[in-house]
Structure formats: C-alpha cells, structure tokens
C-alpha cells in the first residue's frame, strides 16, 4: 500500500472554503482505480493548516492520479491560495496495532 501524507497552509479565514473547494476532487479521486482513501482535513490545532491523507493500492495508481491532476485545466474561479509545507509518500504494510 502507498500512503501519502501532506500538509498545506492557507489563510485561516479561507480554510473552510479551501476544504469545500476540494470536495469535488475528493469525490472524483475516491472513484479512481486503486484509491483506498483520499481526504483533506482541518488541523485540530492550527486554523491555517490542512492535512492530506491518501491511501493507494499501488504506486502506479498514485502515478496515474498525479498525471490526471496535472493534465486537468486550471479551476475557475482561481482556488484559495495554499502553500505546500510537506508531502511524504510512503510504502506501508499493515501490522498488528498495539491495542489489539
């Protein structure tokens, strides 16, 4: 499984609009081949921070998703400005949780 963890900064006053703008992208991405999960969420402690969590079956699925996003036309009206703070792409395997 491939896991993507991202952190984005937005103006705190625009965070809810940023998340609302992402809703169609989330719905479309969740329907893509190999997508196990895809979500943007508000950070609980920082009103100007948004977190991204993605889970993909295979790297090829994530690569196809990125290629499709890159080929998409720019949204109208222009989206809420954001700044990428960090994005990590990890290969993961399930393990027994410590509470089990």
DSSP string spanning 42-91? E-SS-TTEEEEEEEESSHHHHHHHHHHHHHSPPPSSPPPP-EEEEEEEEE
Average pLDDT over residues 84-88: 97
Q: Could you report the per-residue pLDDT of 3-29, keeping only the tens digit for each?
A: 999 999 999 999 999 999 999 999 999
**Residue 53 has what pLDDT?**
98
Number of domains in the chain: 1
User: Does residue 32 sit within a domain?
Assistant: yes
How high does pLDDT run on average in the chain? 96
Host domain of residue 26? 2-91
Q: Which two tokens stand for residue 34?
A: 């190999």
User: Does residue 64 sit within a domain?
Assistant: yes
User: Does residue 44 sit within a domain?
Assistant: yes
User: Does residue 100 sit within a domain?
Assistant: no
> Which of 57, 51, 17, 5 is CA-nearest to residue 35?
57
User: Does residue 48 sit within a domain?
Assistant: yes
Contact 8, 83 (CB under 8 A): yes
User: Does residue 99 sit within a domain?
Assistant: no
> Which of 35, 21, 20, 43 is CA-nearest to residue 68?
35
User: Does residue 96 sit within a domain?
Assistant: no
**Residue 26 has what pLDDT?**
97
Whether the pLDDT of residue 74 is over 90: the answer is no
**Residue 77 has what pLDDT?**
81
CATH number at 53 reads: 3.30.70.100
**Residue 76 has what pLDDT?**
81
pTM above 0.85, yes or no: yes
Average pLDDT over residues 51-56: 98
């Amino acid at each position: 499984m491939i896991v993507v963890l991202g952190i984005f900064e937005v103006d705190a006053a625009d965070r809810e609009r940023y998340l609302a703008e992402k809703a169609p992208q989330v719905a479309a991405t969740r329907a893509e081949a190999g997508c196990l999960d895809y979500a943007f969420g508000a950070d609980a402690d920082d009103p100007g921070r948004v977190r991204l969590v993605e889970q993909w079956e295979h790297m090829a699925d994530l690569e196809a998703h990125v290629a499709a996003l890159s080929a998409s036309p720019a949204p109208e009206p222009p989206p809420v400005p954001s700044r990428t703070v960090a994005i990590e792409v990890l290969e993961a395997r399930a393990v027994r949780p410590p509470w089990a």
